[in-house]
Amino acid sequence: MRTIIHPAANDFLFSLDCEADMIGRESDYYHNSGGKTKADRFLSQEVVGLMMRRAFRPSAAIKFRVGGTHMRIGQKGLAVTLIVMLIALSLVGCGSNNAKESQTGAESESPKASTPAASGEASPSEAKVYPENGLPTDQEVTLKFGFWEAGAGREAIDFAMKSFSEKFPNVKFDTTYSPDIFTIIGTKIAAGDDKDMFDIFSREGVPDVNSLVENKKLEPLEDLWDRELLDTPGKKLKDAVMDGVFENAPRINKTSYFLPDTSWAGGLFFDKTLFEKNGWNQNPQTWDEFTALLETIKASGIIPITFPGVYSTYLEQFSFAPKEFELAEMNGKLDSFTSGYRVFAQPVYTSPESIEKWNRIYELGKKGYFPKGVAALNHTQSQMQVLQHKAAMVSTGSWVENEMKDSTPEGFKWGYMGVPFRTSPDQTLWLASGLNGGMYVWANKPELNKKWAKEFALWLFNVETQKISAAKAGAIPGRNLSEYPDASNALQDAAKEVSKYAAANKGRFETSFREVTLTDPAYNQSTKTYIDAIPAIAEGKQDPKAILEKAEKYIETAIAAQK
Amino acid sequence: MTKLRIQKRLFVLLAVGPAFAGYMLFTLYPNLMSAYYSLLDWNGISSARFIGLSNFKRMFGDEYMWAALRHSLIYAVTVPLLILVISLFLAYLLTNRGYRESAFYKVLFFFPNVLPMVVIALIWAFIYDGNFGLLNSVLKGLTFDYDGYYWLGDEKIAFWALIPPQVWGGVGFYLIIFMNAMIAIPKSLYESAILDGATHFQRLTVITLPLMNGIIRVCLLFMVLGIFKTIDIVLILTNGGPAGSTDVIGLYMFNLSFGKGVAGGGMHTYGYASAIGMFLFVILVGAKLLIDKLIPNKQVEF
């Protein structure tokens, strides 16, 4: 699955935190990435190297002057001493490795698991169980939780944890919040220490989920779809979610490993007030109408579309990625395109759909519809341009309202549109979306921990938690809240606009996920090739054709390496 | 074994032991491990596969790596030279001209050094901003209208625009070191030079600089090695863009191992990144040897 990340879906201070965090942990990275020698390390190496050379030089001896007497130690003595230390240390190293392995193998040593694993059908000896799930009330469980603290903030998840612990007082959370949680998770995974690993963690940005599943590191959650909701007994989860969430939830080998409790939509976000004032078309139906709108906006001296060039994927990922599906459907080959897309069937970048998509971006670029020098803009700056009416629309996601709420001027009303590639309003309009929220449950953990983790995943679909995350995090609820007007009114404007727009335009949401992961470095190079080129394409300075061909060559290498 | 010999051994063990153990555990071991990682195809999740020197083979044919290395090399030459010249000049001014506000200037110049590199980067992001940037405002005051021009958005400019922040962030630290080195030079040398009629410039080149040779050498070494490892400021200001024109070797390596789908595909390729790390290690050793060669280590006693 291609991980969908909006690396900087957080406000200015957040990004500051995030970067600080990143840099702060640079030294940790070193141990994994290797070879990045620090100057001081370099010097100390030099010193020790000198020492060693001296120690092992024939007939050399080191003189130590202690209290006026000279101690002379032959080269052999020192060498032997050092070798003994080396062996001792390596034994220590091996020892700790072995210990780690034995932990992994026998998790039953952990006190939590030593108690009989509580199964749904409680054994008769266990009297005290919760009626909702049959889990014991008297066994304390602390869930280690790695939470991605991004534009959505932590208020909503804090509410969910608090209410969960109130309902099930024996369950506590030990939460690590970080805007850069993927790095922490990635490092923990690489370290391979199950005991130290989170029980549950945010799924955004977790690299290479397919490998994790292949190696049985993640707990399957498919059975939760058939569970009754914790706040609405009698209603199964799969019947309570929004249309399409159950059917389209990303699965690996037909199994869900996370439950998308919220979602986001990508596209072009704008100020309705500005559009109304200028009489601009807020809902262009076709590509021609869309380009006419951009021309009108440009003629009025405002930049039609902006995006963060520093994270240039914002343009492609949030507004144009699903257009390949739209083109395929218009040409009547949606099915074959989709099945190929999911598994990286070649051509990936030079498919007719992909070339057409990039050519249209280039076409807009040549007409000057994107800002000059866009490569310098980060996400906050580009979104700021829309708030200040320097640009009319910004390519980003529905979290933008929450992210920019502190800077939004009075009278500003968020509006939303997709980029229509279609030629007639009868055709489907494909929109970028991501299923958000949800979390993975680590498989190598005590049974009871996993059970409670799964209960918590279910808890996030409660009306109250859904309402709070819509109101406080700007999320689009995963649960169908139409029966709960109070909760659906809690949606923020941008999220409401997205639903309205999709309903009015035969909108279809596409998460652009892949069922295959390419792990060869050449895959990174292929994405780097086109991502680096996006600002130049959007400024009309770079014909996408050569770039796509180059990217295709890289991905060909990556696919070949996979086999 | 005699008692004395045992005592001697014990003493060596106690004296060298702790430091040596720490060095092995925290320096040698990770370094050796990354040398080993560089021979693997490993993403941190699935089991590692030994692929010999394939990573290195790939690396030498990797145009992105060479481009990043070229950028790093240019920075490693320009930035240290600028820092050196500016901080030496300022240090000389502050030590030899008895300004009443010298102490204040010292604090002022040192100030950027107190800031984390992240903050420096963000300050400069605002200076270079096209809409409300300080630079454009200043230029406008001087009747040059660059309104709406994003300095970091232009492939040809962005690369050079990253030099001032790095220099600004580095000058303060070396200024303090150079000032203290200058103060340590005996006044009597200058007094006799002044009596002999030496000018300011002569005193600088004949007395001050030669006597600071050792310190300048070490500082230059730190600067060059530091520049090769720069990640933070580039990551924040441009993330290697536009069009890869500011990608440096450290950042490329970082994105390969920890990239989040921004500049890399979001895959963690520890093996390949380690191979680049190993190459960087070789380059750093090379740079160190080169500096040793270029600036002979003449010890001066005074």
| Adjacent-strand bridge partners of A63 | A72
Q: Report the gap between the CA of A268 and the closest CA in chain B (Å).
A: 20
Q: What is the domain range of residue B187?
A: 62-294
Task: Read off the tokens for A431.
Answer: 């929109």
Contact, A181 vs A233, CB < 8 A?
no
Please report, for the domain that includes residue B88, its CATH number. Answer: 1.10.3720.10
Residues of A in contact with B222 (CB under 8 A): 39
Name A265's bridge partners. Answer: A433
- What pLDDT, on the 0 to 100 scale, is given for residue A3? 34
Q: Indicate the residue of B12, B153, B267 with minimum beta-carbon distance to A374.
A: B153
Q: What sign for the dihedral angle of Cα A72, A75, A76, A82?
A: positive
The CA distance from B97 to the nearest CA of chain A, in Å, is 34
Q: What is the share, in percent, of chain A residues with pLDDT greater than 90? A: 37
Q: SS3 for A70?
A: strand
Minimum-distance CB partner of B266 among A41, A190, A207: A207
pLDDT in tens, B150-165: 888 888 888 999 999 9
Given CB atoms, is B290 within the 8 Å cutoff of chain A?
no
Q: In the structure, what pLDDT confidence band is assigned to residue B54 with cuts at 50, 70 and 90?
A: confident
Question: What's the mean pLDDT in A446-454?
Answer: 92
Q: Would an 8 Å CB–CB cutoff place B64 in contact with chain A? A: yes
In tens, the pLDDT along A477-515 reads: 888 887 888 887 888 888 888 888 988 898 888 888 787
φ/ψ (deg, to 5) at B247: -65, 130
- Across the interface, of B33, B47, B151, the residue whose CB is closest to A376 is B151
Q: Beta A171-178 vs A262-271: how paired, if at all?
A: unpaired
Q: In chain B, what's the furthest Cα-to-Cα distance? A: 87
| Mutation for testing the B interface, residue in A528, A539, A563 having most B CBs under 10 Å | A528
With an 8 Å Cβ cutoff, are A16 and B229 in contact? no
Q: DSSP secondary-structure letter at A161?
A: H
Identity (one letter) of the amino acid at A224? L
Which is more confidently placed, A498 or A247?
Answer: A498
- Predicted local distance difference test score (pLDDT) of residue B154: 83
Q: Which DSSP category does B269 fall into?
A: -
Q: What are phi and psi of A490, to 5 degrees?
A: -75, -10
Answer whether residue B299 is part of any domain: no
Strand order in the sheet with A171-178: A171-178, A141-148, A200-202, A439-441
A455 min Cα distance to partner chain B (Å): 26
Q: What mean pLDDT is predicted for residues A227-241?
A: 88
pLDDT over threshold 50, residue A100: no
pLDDT digits (tens, 9 = 90+) for A76-92: 666 666 666 666 655 55
Task: Tell me what ipTM this predicted complex has.
Answer: 0.73
CB contact B122 to A (< 8 Å): yes
pLDDT at B187: 87
Contact criterion met (CB < 8 Å) for B46 and A214 = yes
The residue among A453, A535, A391, A503 whose CA lies nearest residue A173 is A453
**Residue scoring higher pLDDT (A310 or A144):** A144
B11 chain-A contacts, CB cut-off 8 A: 64, 66, 71
The predicted structure's pLDDT at residue A24: 33
The pLDDT assigned to B149 comes to: 81
How far apart, in whole angstroms, are the C-alpha atoms of residue A503 and residue B5?
89
Q: Is the pLDDT of residue B259 over 90?
A: no
- Flag whether B3 is in a domain: no
Asked, as a colleague might, if the bond just before A347 is cis with ω within 30 of 0, I would say yes
Question: Closest Cα of chain B to A242: distance in Å?
Answer: 29
Q: Which of B24, B128, B154, B268 to mutate to test the interface with A (most CBs of A within 10 A)?
A: B268
- Chain B: residue whose CA lies nearest to A205: B260
Mean of pLDDT values over A349-368: 95
Spatial distance between the Cα atoms of A279 and B198, rounded to a whole number of angstroms: 77
pLDDT above 60 (res B103): yes
Contact B265 A528 (CB under 8 A): yes
pLDDT at A84: 63
pLDDT in the model for residue B267:
65
Rounded to the nearest angstrom, the minimum Cα separation between B88 and chain A is: 22
Q: With bands split at pLDDT 50, 70 and 90, how would you rate the model's confidence at A242?
A: confident
pLDDT reading at A528 higher than 90: no
The two beta strands, A391-397 and A303-306, are parallel
Which H or E run includes A175?
strand A171-178
pLDDT surpassing 50 at residue A57: no
Residue B14 lies in a domain: no
Residue A29: the pLDDT is 32
For residue B102, which amino acid is it? Answer: S
Indicate the fold that domain A264-420+427-435+512-562 takes in CATH: D-Maltodextrin-Binding Protein; domain 2 (3.40.190)
Prior bond of B242 cis (ω within 30°): yes
CATH of domain A141-261+438-461: 3.40.190.10
Q: Is residue B26 part of a domain?
A: no
Q: What is the pLDDT of residue A117?
A: 42
Q: For A36, which of B15, B118, B277 is closest by C-beta distance? A: B277
Instruction: Name the domain count of chain B.
Output: 1
Of B273 and B102, the one with more pLDDT: B273
Task: Read off the pTM.
Answer: 0.71
What amino acid occupies position A216?
A: K
R_g (Cα) of chain B, nearest Å: 24
- pLDDT attached to residue A132: 81
Q: What is the pLDDT of residue A68?
A: 38
Q: What percent of chain B has pLDDT over 90?
A: 19
How much is the pLDDT for A76?
62
Span B41-57, average pLDDT: 80
A307/A298 Cα distance (integer angstroms):
16
Residue B246 CA to residue A532 CA, distance in Å, equals 11
Residue B199 lies in a domain: yes
Q: How far is A177 from chain B (nearest CA, A)?
A: 18
Residues whose CB is less than 8 angstroms from the CB of residue A462 and which lie 6 or more positions away in sequence, other chains included? A160, A163, A229, A230, A231
Q: What are phi and psi of A387, to 5 degrees?
A: -60, -35
Residues A298-351 pLDDT 10s: 999 999 999 988 888 889 989 999 999 999 999 999 999 999 998 899 899 999
pLDDT of residue A22: 34
User: Which of A98-112, A307-321, A349-363, B5-19 is predicted with the least confidence, judged by mean pLDDT?
Assistant: A98-112
pLDDT exceeds cutoff 60 at A62: no
Split at pLDDT 50, 70, 90, the class of A75 is low
pLDDT at A83: 65
pLDDT, average across residues A226-230: 90
- How does the average pLDDT of chain A come out, rounded? 78
B129-152 pLDDT per residue, tens? 877 788 888 888 888 877 778 888
Q: Residue A540: its pLDDT value, please? A: 92
Q: Residue A91 and residue B36: Cα distance in Å, rounded?
A: 19
What does the pLDDT read at residue A163?
93
Hey, what are A280's tokens?
A: 């601009």
**Mean pLDDT value across residues B6-13:** 90
Per-residue pLDDT, averaged over A441-461, amounts to 92
**Which amino acid does the sequence have at B103?**
A
Model confidence pLDDT, tens digit, residues B193-234: 889 888 888 888 888 888 888 888 889 999 998 898 888 888
Instruction: Name the most confidently modeled range: A28-37, A394-403, A478-487.
Output: A394-403
pLDDT > 70: what percent of chain B?
Answer: 95
DSSP per residue over B153-175, as a string?
GSHHHHHHHTHHHHHHHHHHHHH
Q: How far apart are alpha carbons A38 and A177 in whole angstroms?
A: 29
Does residue B40 form part of some domain?
no
Q: What mean pLDDT comes out for the span B183-194?
A: 88
Instruction: Quickly tell me which residue has 């040409």 as its tokens.
Output: A331
Mean pLDDT of B65-87: 93
Query: What is the distance between the alpha carbons of residues A142 and A220, in angstroms, rounded to a whole number?
Result: 20
Is beta strand A69-73 parallel, antiparallel or unpaired with respect to A141-148?
Answer: unpaired
Q: Span A240-250, mean pLDDT?
A: 79
Would the pLDDT of B112 be above 70? Answer: yes
Contact present, A176 and A149 (Cβ < 8 Å): no
Q: Are A309 and A376 in contact (CB under 8 A)?
A: yes
Q: Which chain B residue has its CA at the smallest distance from A373's CA?
A: B153
Q: How far apart are CA A459 and CA A163, in angstroms?
A: 9
pLDDT at residue number A37: 35
Per-residue confidence (pLDDT) for residue A275, from 0 to 100 = 95
